Chain A
Amino acid sequence: MKTIQELEEIRKKTLDTINVRKDRSGTRIVVGMATCGIAAGARPVLLSIMDEVKKHDLADVVVAQTGCIGMCRLEPIVEVYKPGEDKVTYVKVNPSKAVRIVNEHIMKGKVVDEYTIGAGDK
């Protein structure tokens, strides 16, 4: 038999993993995954973002992918959409940069300026 507490735990844990089907209003992290992105190493970036999101139990964060964003020389590109905020575009991301983006931008709301398209293209 499950106690009421155990049921609540199941509820919370499962909701984290399937809420993407109902509530898609939270933060979206989008990774460019066209041929250019994949060739530049977008897959390990995507995986490290997913690991980090999982590790910190970030329930309202959706990790998605998109096609070619149009600046193939700057791939891997990661875009972050936070509700009510402007889109932030990170360029030439690698797995360790991705971890920092999740930790600082997603979790603490502090944009990692040095990786953004404004800084990275210099």
Chain B
Amino acid sequence: MEMYRSHVMICRGTGCTSSNSEQIAKNFEEEIKKHGLENEVVVERTGCFGLCALGPIVIVYPEASFYSMVKPEDVEEIVKEHLVKGRVVKRLLYAESVEENRIKAIEEVDFYKKQVRVALRNCGVINPENIDEYIAFDGYKALEKVLTQMTPAEVIDTVKKSGLRGRGGGGFPTGMKWEFASKSQNDQKYVLCNADEGDPGAFMDRSVLEGDPHSVIEAMAIAGFAVGADKGYIYCRAEYPIAVKRLAIAISQARNYGLLGDNIMGTGFKFDLEVRLGAGAFVCGEETALIASIEGQRGMPRPRPPFPAVKGLFGKPTILNNVETYANIPVIFNKGPEWFASMGTEKSKGTKVFALGGKINNTGLVEIPMGTTMREVVYEIGGGCPNGKKYKAAQTGGPSGGCIPASEIDVPIDYDNLIALGSMMGSGGLIVMDEDNCMVDIARFFLDFTVDESCGKCTPCREGTKRMLEILERITEGKGEDGDIEKLENLAKNIKSSALCGLGQTAPNPVLSTIRYFRDEYEAHIKEKKCPAGVCNALLNYTIIEDKCKGCGICAKNCPASCITGQPKSPYVIDSEKCLKCGVCMQKCPFKAIVKK
């Protein structure tokens, strides 16, 4: 490899790619050539930097200058000024990184300062399509150590000591899972990776696969050694084309280097991997449904026990871990389980990646030590809610989780605290809601999702969630009745205790959690037929404020239902019986005389 004085890192994760970062990369290459810098400056396409809201992102080393929202036409200026003359183009830098006298490097800005990147250690730092760059930052060193210096029992012991728990949702101790599978006697065992990330708004696993696919491959080989498996499958959803492509490249590079295959590193250990694509069913993220799907069956869960560690893929002992869980494994072996266990809280060790979304300024991917508070995540890293709105709650755990209200904002985030609050860690989706979000509507949204994704195999989930959704829809339409809340709670309790798989058992959580913290909002919908947040259309009325109306008639002219009447120069009136609540009148009124309440 050549030595370059400057490295231009361009994000080619899904977010930045969809805002044209490939064109930016090409422009850089062209401009650099034009200025004769091709032997001094290298352009690398890399994984997600995390601050997706401000993409496309370009980082220029050695200064670590953080360019955000770069457009293809900006490239010429960056090359001419920064790369030729060494003058950073302040205008294009991420605003937060510019101080009066000084420009901050990427790791100094607030968004990154509190983060500890373990699973995301290589995202945005290496070119994920070049195995050498992964190897350079201690890649495949953990596998080497495991194969040459350790026994399978020692490997499992190390994972147990680290305290690592499954990052996909349940939080089951990873070392114990491995131990169960290693104790199952069989001629054939399997190692699976769950990359069927389906929670709305979650993209942690995608970013790991796109930015650092080798970390997952290395960890799966280690797992194979630990449990005695020689074959693995990565089950990745087909909606992640960039991740699938990079995985395929990484697997073939690893095979070329003999890091997968028959005689890995000359040690005689044998392990190989294949990728299987999911067709988009949410339930296939459930372990037994995922296994059925890989086998070529319809993706539906089955009762447990037997657990996959005893009887899994093709009836053989199988371990299944999530992408982020695997991404932590090589570091645990390189830096030691004590190092890993030194981060986090008593029962939740290490870090967790969250996908920040919703009403938050810095939408993106963050990795924080367990035990960080929601306040730090929302205000210090996330930059608070846009337009100065008030934080109301954060939803974690997606359709299986619940919400953390403003009153609990200082609780340290870990597995057990979130469960105590009626939510769960889940895979790491974190949706922030402000005062304009209606909590009944949020519950309805998530339940709508689970009803849609229920596979239909068991009755509690198939019928029960549907009935709950019907009640919620009635409430949001202003047809709620006394006793609806109790009915919801009762149904929820029964579904939780009787559904077949995790999807059904956790589906009522968003409803229970919003009732627990925002019962008053439910009551306002049912008793007063009002939506306090102003979201549920059926409960809102558009009215014209007499004093403000100048009688211009623009509202009446634009109303598609012709329900606004009046005489020019005197106040107009909306007939709420006929009103469609489309909001056009409010948009068109030049005097802001129309309100929704």
Binding site for B on A (CB under 8 A): 1-4, 7, 10-11, 13-22, 24, 28, 30-35, 38, 46-47, 50, 53-54, 62-67
Closest CB pairs A-B (n = 5): A1-B258, A65-B86, A14-B136, A67-B87, A15-B136
Chain A residues with Cβ below 8 Å from B125 are: 21-22
- Identify the closest chain A residue to B138 (Cβ): A11
Chain A residues with Cβ below 8 Å from B258 are: 1-2
Is the CB–CB distance between A33 and B85 below 8 Å?
A: yes
Is the CB–CB distance between B61 and A20 below 8 Å?
A: yes
Chain A residues with Cβ below 8 Å from B51 are: none
Chain B residues with Cβ below 8 Å from A2 are: 257-259, 265
Chain B residues with Cβ below 8 Å from A18 are: 7, 126, 133, 136
Closest chain-A Cβ to B33's Cβ sits at a distance in Å of 16
Interface of A is mostly: helix
Chain B residues with Cβ below 8 Å from A19 are: 136
Closest chain-A Cβ to B565's Cβ sits at a distance in Å of 67
Closest chain-A Cβ to B38's Cβ sits at a distance in Å of 12
A19 to B1, CA, bound (A): 13
Binary A-proximity of B244-285 (CB < 8 A = 1, otherwise 0): 000000000000011101010110000000000000000000
Closest chain-A Cβ to B2's Cβ sits at a distance in Å of 7
- Identify the closest chain B residue to A22 (Cβ): B125
Provide 15 A-B residue pairs closer than 8 Å at the C-beta atoms, listed in order of the A residue. Answer: A2-B259, A2-B265, A3-B266, A7-B144, A10-B132, A14-B132, A18-B7, A21-B7, A21-B9, A34-B85, A38-B85, A47-B40, A63-B62, A64-B63, A66-B87
Closest chain-A Cβ to B135's Cβ sits at a distance in Å of 5
Task: Flag whether B20 is at the interface (Cβ < 8 A).
Answer: no
A115 to B139, CA, bound (A): 43
A50 to B86, CA, bound (A): 15
Is the CB–CB distance between A16 and B137 below 8 Å?
A: no
- Identify the closest chain A residue to B126 (Cβ): A18
- Identify the closest chain A residue to B130 (Cβ): A14
A108 to B133, CA, bound (A): 30
Chain A residues with Cβ below 8 Å from B259 are: 2
Chain B residues with Cβ below 8 Å from A1 are: 257-258, 261, 263, 265-266
Chain A residues with Cβ below 8 Å from B261 are: 1
Is the CB–CB distance between B133 and A62 below 8 Å?
A: no
Chain A residues with Cβ below 8 Å from B62 are: 20, 24, 28, 62-64
Is the CB–CB distance between B136 and A11 below 8 Å?
A: yes
Is the CB–CB distance between A4 and B84 below 8 Å?
A: no
Is the CB–CB distance between A64 and B6 below 8 Å?
A: yes
